[in-house]
Homo-oligomer: A and B are copies of this chain.
Amino acid sequence: MLFEIKNLTKVYGNRKVLDIPELRLEKGKVYGLLGPNGSGKTTLLEILSFLLPPTTGEIVYDARTVDFSEAFLQGLRREVVMVEQHPILFTTSVYKNVEFGLKVRKEPKARRKRMIHEVLDLVGMREFAEASAHKLSGGETQRVAIARALACSPKVILFDEPTSNVDIENQIAIEGILRDINIQKGISVIFTTHNRIQATKLSDRIIFLFNGKPASSIYENIFSGSISTDGNGNKYCLIHNKVRLAVRTDKTGYVKISVDPKMIKVFPAQDSSAGGHKLVGRVMQLTDEGDHVRALIDIGIPISVLLGREKYKQAPILTGERVELFFPLESVEIM
């Protein structure tokens, strides 16, 4: 086990921003951490990289129970490196930034040079080696920060939204790096992202955080809406003043809902769209996800639907086509 977490909480003021009863992460895996803004992703990564002590709870790292004393942590930090969400580079050259972790690890000078050039090549920043690090653009900064962490050759790397400001070509490169260091060097990787496709593509397991808790519910199709009752006494949820979904709940007023993408049913559109519970939309995007195909369908709001591969092959829907959606009552969960 890489990390075993028990009853971990982090409290700021009177707000519990992290509350994890149990979480076990294995060695040599890639974990994707997803969740809305403020769900505690960054906070969790900072705790896992031993930069932030939790308010309560126990963490076992690599069979060692972590006691949050500085001397103990310094040893662990040599094995676990984090790349921050908005990394800051030391106000010196790019080269010296990347050199820092190596100097600290007392690498000999010649080896340092080789390693620095290697990691800068990986993120495509070699030609910036002598540039002033604090004058770089947003994406350049992010890439140098990744190189700086890679240079340390740690056992675990935590990436906080590693590609958020990175251009398309380098997004591909960095995704490649993540995979490569995991496969070739056996480095365990935990990364956060708001890009579901990236998460599915790269990770062995996805962890959803919601309000500081690992969420049991599917972190997809999350919307804010309000509950009302129609003339027939049926409850529905009105989303963005555009879409009505039938729901079964006792709550009223403003709520957050999530819709299970596996439970939504898709039909080719009939011109006479009479079906009471059906909504009409247009297929925006189809994405391959191995056993499934994910369809993004615009019904006023973008809805994600997961279709079984076999079903899709038999009755394919095409992008740009109009389709009808049916939302069973069970598909909508009020959070």
Cα of A145 to Cα of B143 in the assembled complex, Å: 24
User: A167, A285, A319: which has the most chain B beta carbons within 10 Å?
Assistant: A319
Are B139 and A37 in contact, with the CB atoms below 8 A? Answer: yes
Shortest A234–chain B CB gap in Å is 25
Contact A172/B137 with A124-B224, A143-B37 known, Cβ cut-off 8 Å? no
From B165, B222, B240, A194 is in contact (CB under 8 Å) with: B165
Q: Chain B contacts of A240 at CB under 8 A?
A: 176
A37-B170 CB under 8 A given contacts A135-B12, A287-B285: yes
- Tell whether, in the assembled complex, residue A288 and residue B282 are in contact, meaning their CB atoms are under 8 Å apart: yes
Select A138's contact among B161, B170, B171, B293, beta carbons within 8 Å: B161
| A138, B42: Cβ atoms closer than 8 Å | yes
User: Residue A288 contacts which of B160, B168, B196, B319 (CB distance < 8 angstroms)?
Assistant: B319
Knowing A137-B37, A140-B37, say if A320 contacts B223 (CB, 8 Å). Answer: no
B285 and A288 within 8 A (CB): yes
In the assembly, how many copies of this chain are there?
2
By a CB distance below 8 angstroms, the chain B residues around A223 are 169
Given the interface pairs A165-B194, A168-B196, the reply to whether A85 lies near B138 with Cβ below 8 Å is: yes
Q: Which of A37, A172, A197, A313 is most buried by chain B, counting CB atoms within 10 A of its CB? A: A37
Question: In the complex, A172 Cα to B170 Cα: how many Å?
Answer: 24
Is A189 interfacial (CB-CB < 8 Å)? no
Inter-chain contact A301/B172, CB cutoff 8 Å: yes
Asked if residues B194 and A38 are in contact (CB atoms below 8 Å), the reply is no
Once the chains are docked, how many angstroms separate the CA of A196 from the CA of B222? 23
Q: Could you tell me which residues of chain A, from 306 to 335, have a CB within 8 Å of some CB in chain B?
A: 309, 312-313, 316, 318-320
Within 264-288 of A, Cβ neighbours of B (below 8 Å) are at 282-288
A302 touches B172 (CB 8 A): yes
Q: With an 8 A cutoff between CB atoms, is A226 at the interface?
A: no
Residue of B nearest to A160 (CB): B138
Contacts of A222 in B (CB 8 A): 168-169
Q: How far is the CA of A319 from the CA of B289 in the complex (A)?
A: 9
Point out the residues of chain B lying under 8 angstroms from A284, CB to CB. Answer: 287-288
Chain B residues with CB below 8 A from A38, complex form = 136-137, 139-140
Q: List the 4 closest pairs (A to B, CB-CB), nearest first.
A: A37-B139, A288-B319, A36-B167, A288-B320
